[in-house]
Structures are given as C-alpha cells and as structure tokens.
Structure 1
C-alpha cells in the first residue's frame, strides 16, 4: 500500500507516514515529505533497501531537518523513495519502484532523491527533504523542473541522516516556489552565512561545451537575462578538463561509501540491484588505492575556485549535461548517463560550495535546470537571487 493519493509512486510502499507540525510557524498549513534516509521517530529508516530496513532498529528521534520543519508548522506527509542506499543519480529503485516524473512521465525523475522530487513536482507536498552527495538534489531538480539547492558542505546538520560519504553528504530541499525554498532553508541552515555583494557572474564555457546541444539551446534565454542582470565573463573552470575532475571526485566518494557499507555487507550479505552491487564492488577496489593525490587535488581546487569567487562572483553552468533519460534506459546507458552527469555535479562536490538549480529552461517540453555556484556560505545569497529572479 502506498500513501494516499500517491499518483506518482513517490512514497515508500507501506502504511502511510504522518507527523503533525506545530500549530503555528512560518510553514503552518504546509506539507513536506522526507527522503527515506531521514529518521522519523519510532520507524525504521529503510534507505531504499529491504535488507537495510530488516537489519536496523527504529529511530529514537526525528532527524534534525525533519524536526526543524515540524517545529515550523509543516506536517510530514510521507517518506519518499530513494535510489537504493542512495547510490544513484537517475531515480531507479528495483525494490520500491521508480517514481514517475510528473513533468515528463516517460522519463526518469533523477535521483537519488527521486521520490522527494516527484512528490513536490506532482503537488503531493509543498516541500521535500532530499540529500546531495554527488548531485542527488540538483539532478532531480533539473529533471523535474524544481528549485533545489546543495548547500555549503557542513551548513546543515546531518544528525539523524543515513550518510554514505561524509565529506560529500549534504541535506537539501525541493520546492516549486523559490520564496518557500528560501524560507525553508532559513530554518535549517546554521548561522555561518558569509554575505557578499554579487559583482559579476562567470559563465563556465567548458561546462556548457560538455552539455548536449538541446540543453545548451534551452538555457540561452536564461543566460541572456543573466548577462543583462550582471556583468558577465566567459571562463574555463578546468584546464585539464572537467571529466578529469569528475574522475577524482568519484574515486573519493567511492572510497567513503565503501567504508560506510563494508561492515554491514560483511555481516548481512544483503541483496542489491545489479547496478548498485557493481558500484559497491568497484568502490571496494577504489578504497584500497592510495588517494593522497586525489585529496591534495580537492584541496587545491577548493582553494582555487573559492579565490576566484572571492565573495563577489557566481559561476553559471547547466545543472546537468543531458535531458532526463527515458524510463526504459538499459543498464549500460545508465552508467554512461551517470558518468556524464558527474562531470558537472562533481564541481560543487569537490569544492564543498553551494549550488542552486533553477528551472529556467525547456527543451521539447522537458525541464532543463540552470545552476549558480557561490562562495562558501553564500547559500542565502543564492536563495535570494532565485527569489528575485522569479519575481
């Protein structure tokens, strides 16, 4: 049984999950959904895998982000499907089903926060909690036509969240309305904002070159508006190539999620879909490598990009280089799609910088997201810009 009115298969199968919010607050009267990685008191956090659910006890308390939204008056209306143990960028789950993309029903919704995106895009919730390690808020935001942001790494507590790659994991939110998104993030972000005055925007030409032609063309009107709003300059982010950055990001993330799941796999020999099992096997090999060069590279890139932003500039790029893939995409094509996506999503992952995806493009009726990356602590600046752009 799915949650009532779950027209898009967004919620985890089983009895409905509800928690009533406070009587008053900035989110009073609104409903939110939470990815099945966030603890809900008294329930087992399933993480998209039945053997994970069977081998873990019920949560003793709500996750930090869940509690903050409840305290602000929002009501939890359900727990949403995630790619299995959050390892995916397209939104498929062989155990719970793949949510329908309300904006493109024949296409994948994007993952791993697929159910959260489907719930918001389909009007089943006003807001939804997701997570973003390698792109899992930004990708479904782009594929499903939503506002979503990966915050500065560390600015939102992950207490009560099943983390997979601690130096990459972030809590994120989806909304159809940028003003609501700004309000919700204001409730969960810490007080370490670093304000600045946006003096210019840097258009990452190498990121646009990576993108398929329909994506580039769909974003041209938004780019023209952005150039009219702010002084703009074309830049190259990576002299060695963004695919090379993505390789380093994937190795570092693989090593971390291999360490996260290794003991559980040894103890329970759990069931996995082929693509997740293959990913974990490859990650186990990566975990045995000397990743000193990758860690040094991450430090250097983080410093370089932060210096270029300097509290005064933003980077503009496509959120994803591809349109939402068809639901029937074969496994071999899934791997290639994921690899290409991380060529762009890996930038914020490597640097720990905030990135917001704005639903500003359309290609043949399919949503296309435009992204802005800011300096560390520029989360509020990005949210305000999104709201003002839409006004």
Structure 2
C-alpha cells in the first residue's frame, strides 16, 4: 500500500511520535477497535468531534456514538499535513481514500499528554458525500414520483415511509428479507396519492423500524438514521426515515404511520411537527398493517405552516371539529417523564397560564393499566398481521423486535378478549374526563436517548412513553406533537390530544401556542 504524502509546515520535522499516532488512529478506525479509539481521544468534557450532523462534546458522548455507529470500512490515508503549534500540540489534516470511492478529510488538534501519548482534543470529519444515505432512504429519485403540476403542496417533497404502496416499487417494511420477496405495487396507496394530487413530489421511500414495531429508530438491516436535532442520539421510530429526512432538510414532508407513537415520538426527538390524525381519517389501503385497531397514517413537517397546508389538503371532506377553548392537563401523566421533561412541561404550562390560558387538571386512568391494555391488544393484532411471515423467517429480525413478536405470539384469545374489555372501559373513562377539551402532555417521556444507551434504558423509556401515547391510541383521538419543550438533552414535543376530527383546530392551536411560548 502506498505511503501517505506528509507535509510539515515550515519544512520542520514532524513532532516525535505524531505520525505514528495519526496512522494508529486510522488503523483503529478501520478495525472498529472501540477501546483503542477511546484511548486516542482526550478524556474529559471538552473534547469535541464534529461532522455534517453537528458537534459531539465530551469523551463519553464521542465514545458512545462510536459504539452504535459501526465501522467505517476500509480506507487509506493518502496525504497528511501537519502544522505544529508547539512541542506538545499540532493541527493535522489528513486526506483519506475510502475503498468505496471518493475522498474524505479529517482535521484534528492533537496534544501530547504527560504519559507521552498523542491524543485528539478536537476533530472535524468530512466524509465523501454519499449518493444515497441508506440509513434514511431505501430508494430515491429526482423525484421518484412527480406530483400534479399545481396544487397547494406544489414545490414540496415527500419522504414516504416504507410501509406505503408506491406504484412500480416494492414495499420493504424495514426488513431486507421481506423486501426480497415483495411484489411490485400496482397502485399508490391513497395516502400517497393524496399528496401527489395536491402537488407534492414523492422524493423517495424512507426507512422504517422493522415492521414498524418500535419507537426507537434502530434498524440492523439498514443502519440507524441520524437524529437531525441531537447528534449522537437515536432518531425515534418507527417513522425514523421520514423524520430524519425532514429534520435534515432532504424533504419537506414525511408520510408516516402511528400506531403507538411512531409519528409523535420521532417528531419529539427531532424537533418536528408530527400529526397522528383521528383513527380512520386517512385511508390505510395500500399500507402494511401492524395493529389495524390503532394504525393511523399521518405527517411530519419542520414547521406548523406546512403542517396546516398538508392537513387541509389531505383531510378534504372530513369534518372539522372545534374543541373547547379550555385546555386540560393530567398531573399523573407527567410522573411518567424524566425530571427534566417534567420541569420543562410545567414551565410551559405556567407561562401559558400567565399569558391568559385556562388550563384545568383532569384525571386519567392509571398509566400502567392503559399501557397493558394497549400492549396486549396491539400485540395480538401484530401477530395476526405478520406472525406467519415472522415464524417462517427465523433470524430475520432484530432481537428486540423478535422479542415483541414472541410475546405477541403467546397472547391467547381469552387474554385478548379480556384486554379488549379493558380497552373499552378505559377509553370511555378517558372520553368522559376529556370531553371536547384538548389535553396537553409531553410527546415522549424523555429527550432522545443517546446512541450508546443500554437496552434496559431504551426499554424503560419506551414503556414510559407508550403509557402516554396510548391515550390517543385507545380513544382514536388525534394527537399533534409541536416542538415547544426544551431540555438539556434536546427538544421534546408538547402533544395536543383533541376530540376526534379536530386536526385542523389542533394545528391552529399549536401555532398559537408556539407564538405564546416564543422567547
């Protein structure tokens, strides 16, 4: 392999040991040696790594990011430029040639520690521009499917979750083995066609968590889409691809599905507007089912104005219910949230009340009971939808998704019937409590967990979040996540759960609350 061309500013010799350290770091990257990589970065909170996704600050966050990212693949350093600062520090720029093609560049500040080892204090990574980020997109065009030449959504582009039929394309549901056997679709799903008829172009088919059976955004077949708001954090799912595409500016509209929070959670994690419409308001024809009792199709956008236009264009012919002006909040719901989310939520409510909003407390059924009734009935439907395929394709799914299907397989008809009775009772109790008011609650129990969060942390946050998202799920009410809460860990959505068919009023209310809570 050719040796890299090395330039040292001022024609001075390179600081002793620095070239070997830089090349050792590159070797550790290629080998994905996490322990060695951790040692190559300075310890402490001030170490930084930046790339096109943003900045990671602190040794622990950088190390955690690497743990879930996976290796970078083979590459070689073709050029190294060293600018010594003093005997113990230097700025180094390397140009690398990945085996996959293209050129990348890395800019680093190296410092020699007391033990004599060179370590990175700051790094900026410029990777070769990918033609297609497979973690976000399965298929993309320019556009993939053009919309009508005019209409209220003319000029907008759509990232379609890989659960919706797109004419002439296959549906993959986030699973490579499923995609390999899938037939070509002969018509667009009505939810896709509605956007095309309104003038939007379908830019491409975006990734989903496997079978849409997760709210994390992790996918072992295609990789984890980047979080456009919080570098080094999970994106949220299962509408992970559309959410990341919108947050990163690839598309202006994400078409997704929401069964247990799969639009609202990624919207919350990535600072987006996310609307789960009234159950049944948007056709699910041509959409792969998870749990039809709860499945909905909805949208993600970066701003409320776009969401208003999308809702008006895609809900033509639906009733437009006006909720009561009184807002309500359930104190018990906040207890499921992380302390920083609870604090941000209460601070927002206080500001709204100080500004003249009437917000009254209401009681909702026990969140644990809500979650269990939802989980049992959702799981039984998920097994009916996908169980035969899952059973005949062992090893095709991620361990966490497989575990959910295993649990679903064991739900007996008798247990499902008991849970359905609970669902009916709980939904009636929620409806009596909320009436025609809009319920305010956090869209998720925490900000986006970091990529290196362990499975127990992810599961505990998932359970807490689902206990809140189940309120809209069990009742069939619409829920709108608006990026109005701010925590040290990143954005969190303020969710508005309104009466059925109040979507347009919820968007108007979200825009009003955005103005009232503006700094």
Partner in structure 2 of residue 299 of structure 1: 424
User: Are residues 1:280 and 2:405 paired?
Assistant: yes
- The verdict on how the C-alpha distance between 1:261 and 1:274 changes in structure 2, with shifts beyond 3 A counting, is same
User: Are residues 1:68 and 2:190 paired?
Assistant: no
Q: 2:231 aligns with which of 89, 100, 105?
A: 105
Whether the aligned pair in 2 keeps the contact of 1:129 and 1:174 (CA below 8 Å) is yes
- Tell me the TM-score normalized by structure 2: 0.71
Whether the aligned pair in 2 keeps the contact of 1:44 and 1:56 (CA below 8 Å) is yes
Most deviating of 1-10 and 181-190 = 1-10
Whether the aligned pair in 1 keeps the contact of 2:139 and 2:205 (CA below 8 Å) is no
Partner in structure 1 of residue 362 of structure 2: 235
- The verdict on how the C-alpha distance between 1:221 and 1:162 changes in structure 2, with shifts beyond 3 A counting, is same
Summarize deviations over 1:183-211 as a string: whole Å, max 9, x none. 11222226342523423111110011221
Does the residue aligned with 1:46 lie in a helix, a strand or coil? coil
Does the residue aligned with 1:100 lie in a helix, a strand or coil? coil
Partner in structure 1 of residue 500 of structure 2: 376
Aligned counterparts of 2:183 and 2:494: Cα–Cα separation in 1: 40
Whether the aligned pair in 2 keeps the contact of 1:82 and 1:112 (CA below 8 Å) is yes
Q: Structure 2: which 5+ runs fail to align?
A: 1-99, 101-127
Aligned counterparts of 2:239 and 2:473: Cα–Cα separation in 1: 16
Aligned counterparts of 1:96 and 1:116: Cα–Cα separation in 2: 14
- The verdict on how the C-alpha distance between 1:385 and 1:3 changes in structure 2, with shifts beyond 3 A counting, is farther
Q: 2:272 aligns with which of 117, 140, 146?
A: 146
Shift of 1:361: 1.2
Ranges of 4+ aligned residues in structure 1 off by more than 4 Å:
1-8, 13-17, 266-270
Across the aligned residues of Structure 1 and Structure 2, the Cα RMSD in angstroms comes to 2.2
Q: Aligned runs of 1:1-391 on 2, under 5 Å?
A: 9-12=135-138, 18-189=144-315, 191-227=317-353, 228-238=355-365, 241-269=366-394, 271-311=396-436, 313-364=437-488, 366-391=490-515
Aligned counterparts of 1:193 and 1:225: Cα–Cα separation in 2: 32
- The verdict on how the C-alpha distance between 1:182 and 1:287 changes in structure 2, with shifts beyond 3 A counting, is farther
Summarize deviations over 1:89-143 as a string: whole Å, max 9, x none. 1100000110000110111010000111111111111111010001100100110
Higher relative contact order (CA 8 A, sep 6+): 1
Aligned counterparts of 1:13 and 1:78: Cα–Cα separation in 2: 5
Aligned counterparts of 1:361 and 1:284: Cα–Cα separation in 2: 38
The number of equivalent residue pairs is 388
Most deviating of 38-47 and 185-194 = 185-194
Whether the aligned pair in 2 keeps the contact of 1:12 and 1:80 (CA below 8 Å) is yes
- The verdict on how the C-alpha distance between 1:321 and 1:8 changes in structure 2, with shifts beyond 3 A counting, is farther
Whether the aligned pair in 1 keeps the contact of 2:254 and 2:300 (CA below 8 Å) is yes
Does the residue aligned with 2:415 lie in a helix, a strand or coil? coil
Does the residue aligned with 2:254 lie in a helix, a strand or coil? strand
Whether the aligned pair in 1 keeps the contact of 2:146 and 2:200 (CA below 8 Å) is yes
Summarize deviations over 1:327-372 as a string: whole Å, max 9, x none. 1223333322221211111111111111111100111250111111
- The verdict on how the C-alpha distance between 1:194 and 1:187 changes in structure 2, with shifts beyond 3 A counting, is closer
Summarize deviations over 1:157-199 as a string: whole Å, max 9, x none. 0111111100010001001111210111222226342523423
Whether the aligned pair in 1 keeps the contact of 2:363 and 2:433 (CA below 8 Å) is no
Most deviating of 82-91 and 220-229 = 220-229
Aligned counterparts of 2:170 and 2:139: Cα–Cα separation in 1: 13
